[in-house]
Structure 1
Amino acid sequence: MPLYGKGMLITLTQVSARDERDFNEWYNREHIDERVNLPGFHRARRYVAVRATPKYLATYECDSVADLATPDYLKLLANQTPWSQAVMARFTHFQRLTLRILVDQTHGVGGAIACVRFVPDPRRRKALVEWLTTTALPKVIQRPGMLGASAGENDLEVAHAPLHDKSMDHPRAEEAEWAVLLEGADVPAVSAAARLMFTTTKLRPFGVETAPTVGTYRLLFGNQR
């Protein structure tokens, strides 16, 4: 089964150790359900790092990336619940990517993901999509323990919408970062797949000048409608 739409929000967060219990309770009991029930949203999953910084990653699947910049969504960001306000005030790291999904070769839900992030040359966008679609993702998916993969590009106009609405989402992104999610049954499988395919050498033809950021995570909780 593919993703639940062509848009995805990825958030990367961290809090201090003393705040983690409340942070996790808030995420599992309020935040995921609140977001999943928004118009256009369908499924959300959250992960904890095995080898990554920051410690927590969450994905939110929606019909399109435009759902991440609607007036109702921006209004919600600017008017959080009291619990949300209290938890978010204690974030020590917060980053969001508003992805336009360009390649979707997912299959069900795995227990682990590798998140690979990099900034390509925009002029090589078509070639990158072709490589991901026909070569990179099919090859890693065939590896033992792998279940699927997807890739998307951060839509800068959508990413900046909350800034115009004076929400807490910052800093302003200046380059269109890409994210590839490799999904598998366990962490060793996704880690090996990321190391195999997403090297600086293999990404260089697409204008990637610095080594990609690779993080591995295990599933904590998810919900859908």
Structure 2
Amino acid sequence: MLCGKGMVAIWNGISEAGRLDFYQWHIHEHMPERTGIPGFLRGRRFRAADSETHPEFFTLYEVEQFDVITGDEYARRLNAPTPWTRRATSHFINTSRGLARVLSSNGPGPGGALATVRFQSAAADDQQAVDELSELVHSITPLPLLTGAHLCKADEEATQARSAESEGRTDYDAPPNWFILLEACTVESLEEPIQAVMQHPLVRDAQVGRYVLEYTRLKTDAAAG
């Protein structure tokens, strides 16, 4: 299961010119800063597992409750970007960012492989989508080598809020709407649950990414090893 009831989900590419700086910034400044915010519990970065997955990176911040990411402390960080943040994010490509609620989270723990399935809902209303898609993620959790299945929905108002960190950036693509995260022990074991999600009648215009875990940041002192 995920650590909390809310998340910041970010898909992004990076230019070759900014790649090394991105890694250094993300590991040594950005993820420690974000996980240091009260209510932020864990940060994980994943990299594309195949050439068909775009954008290349997926970063997931898990928070205790959704209101953590609509609160004053997170807003203060977004409105005071460091010089390194401005430099690193200037090399971002095809960024899609969503502040989302975790509607259903199942499974025994995190996996080293992850699939993201972003989609539009064909349900008559959100409650139908929550009910039927929650049943879906619950039903696929026992599949072999799957360690987690999570249903999430981005909050449009919170996601679209502007900040100093996003000011002047032209790399943003459309934000996610509904998405399901699938965690597993191997990339190969993601295929059966991906197909189950793709074939569900409420899942429309799906975009699938397959990723492997690169880095995890827990809530520790920024100076810790």
Fold-level similarity (TM above 0.5): yes
Partner-residue secondary structure (3-state), 1:83: helix
Deviation by residue 1:9-28 (Cα, 9 ceiling, x = unmatched): 10111111232122112111
CA shift for structure 1 position 122: 6.3
Runs of 4+ residues deviating >6 angstroms: none
CA shift for structure 1 position 121: 4.4
CA shift for structure 1 position 125: 2.1
* 1:30-45 paired onto structure 2 within 5 Å: 30-45=29-44
**How far apart in 1 are the matches of 2:155 and 2:35?**
21
Sequence identity, in percent? 28
CA shift for structure 1 position 93: 2.4
Q: Which residue of 1 aligns with 2:207?
A: 213
Are the aligned partners of 1:160 and 1:173 in contact in 2 as well (CA < 8 Å)?
Answer: no
Partner-residue secondary structure (3-state), 1:194: helix
Partner-residue secondary structure (3-state), 1:202: coil
Question: Residues 168 and 153 of structure 1: is their aligned pair in 2 closer, same or farther, counting only changes over 3 Å?
Answer: same
**How far apart in 2 are the matches of 1:158 and 1:152?**
14
Q: 2:166 aligns with which of 165, 168, 171?
A: 168
Higher fraction of helix:
1
**How far apart in 2 are the matches of 1:107 and 1:17?**
37
**How far apart in 2 are the matches of 1:213 and 1:71?**
33
CA shift for structure 1 position 138: 2.9
**How far apart in 1 are the matches of 2:60 and 2:100?**
10
> Any unmatched runs of 5+ in structure 1?
none
Are the aligned partners of 2:78 and 2:164 in contact in 1 as well (CA < 8 Å)?
Answer: no
Deviation by residue 1:171-221 (Cα, 9 ceiling, x = unmatched): 5968x71110000001111133202x122x423xx3x5x431111000000
Deviation by residue 1:95-129 (Cα, 9 ceiling, x = unmatched): 21111110011322210111011111463322222
Partner-residue secondary structure (3-state), 1:23: helix
Are the aligned partners of 2:120 and 2:205 in contact in 1 as well (CA < 8 Å)?
Answer: no
Are the aligned partners of 2:123 and 2:129 in contact in 1 as well (CA < 8 Å)?
Answer: no
TM-score normalized by the length of structure 1: 0.87
* 1:40-189 paired onto structure 2 within 5 Å: 40-51=39-50, 52-121=53-122, 123-134=124-135, 136-161=136-161, 163=162, 165-168=163-166, 177-189=177-189
Question: Residues 74 and 122 of structure 1: is their aligned pair in 2 closer, same or farther, counting only changes over 3 Å?
Answer: farther
Question: Residues 70 and 138 of structure 1: is their aligned pair in 2 closer, same or farther, counting only changes over 3 Å?
Answer: closer
Deviation by residue 1:129-184 (Cα, 9 ceiling, x = unmatched): 222333x22332222111111111111121122x1x4541775968x711100000
CA shift for structure 1 position 3: 1.8
TM-score normalized by the length of structure 2: 0.87
The answer to whether structure 1 residue 192 and structure 2 residue 186 are counterparts is: no
Q: Indicate the RMSD between aligned Cα atoms, in angstroms.
A: 2.1
Partner-residue secondary structure (3-state), 2:111: coil
> Any unmatched runs of 5+ in structure 2?
220-225
Are the aligned partners of 2:94 and 2:173 in contact in 1 as well (CA < 8 Å)?
Answer: no
**How far apart in 1 are the matches of 2:143 and 2:94?**
33
